Amino acid sequence: MLVNLLDNAYKYSYDNKQIELSVSSQDSYICFSVKDNGIEMTRMQIKKVFDRFYQADSSLSRRAEGTGLGLSIVKFIVDAHKGQVDVDSKPGKGSEFTVKLLSA
């Protein structure tokens, strides 16, 4: 899950890559967050980003050799652990993916 999020952050960030991984606890959850300075997504793209084979920017994904499966795999893993994954994306700021999993 984290490898896929970090790989996407790397592939879809611009030449001056800035990728931030943070881990925190929140109530009874462990939260993992991957933030990048890459392409931003529209609300419509965010709604579809976890769908199999969906690629927000097909021209960039061809350059990055993406298949559109990475984020659907992340969602599958998170759901299997009864967790939650959220996306925040702002123009000029990139995207941030946050995963919340119940701590043991």
pLDDT at residue 63, rounded to an integer:
53
- Cα 1 to Cα 32, 34, 37, 42, 91: the distances in Å are 10, 11, 20, 23, 25
pLDDT at residue 96, rounded to an integer:
96
pLDDT at residue 18, rounded to an integer:
94
pLDDT at residue 62, rounded to an integer:
46
**pTM, rounded to two decimals:** 0.86
- Cα 24 to Cα 30, 74, 88, 98: the distances in Å are 6, 19, 17, 10
Could you tell me the residue ranges of all domains in the chain? 2-102
pLDDT block averages, 10 residues each, the chain of length 104: 93 90 95 93 88 69 65 95 94 92 87
pLDDT at residue 39, rounded to an integer:
83
The CATH number assigned to the domain with range 2-102 reads 3.30.565.10
pLDDT at residue 61, rounded to an integer:
45
Rounded CA-CA distance 72/64 in Å is 17
pLDDT at residue 12, rounded to an integer:
86
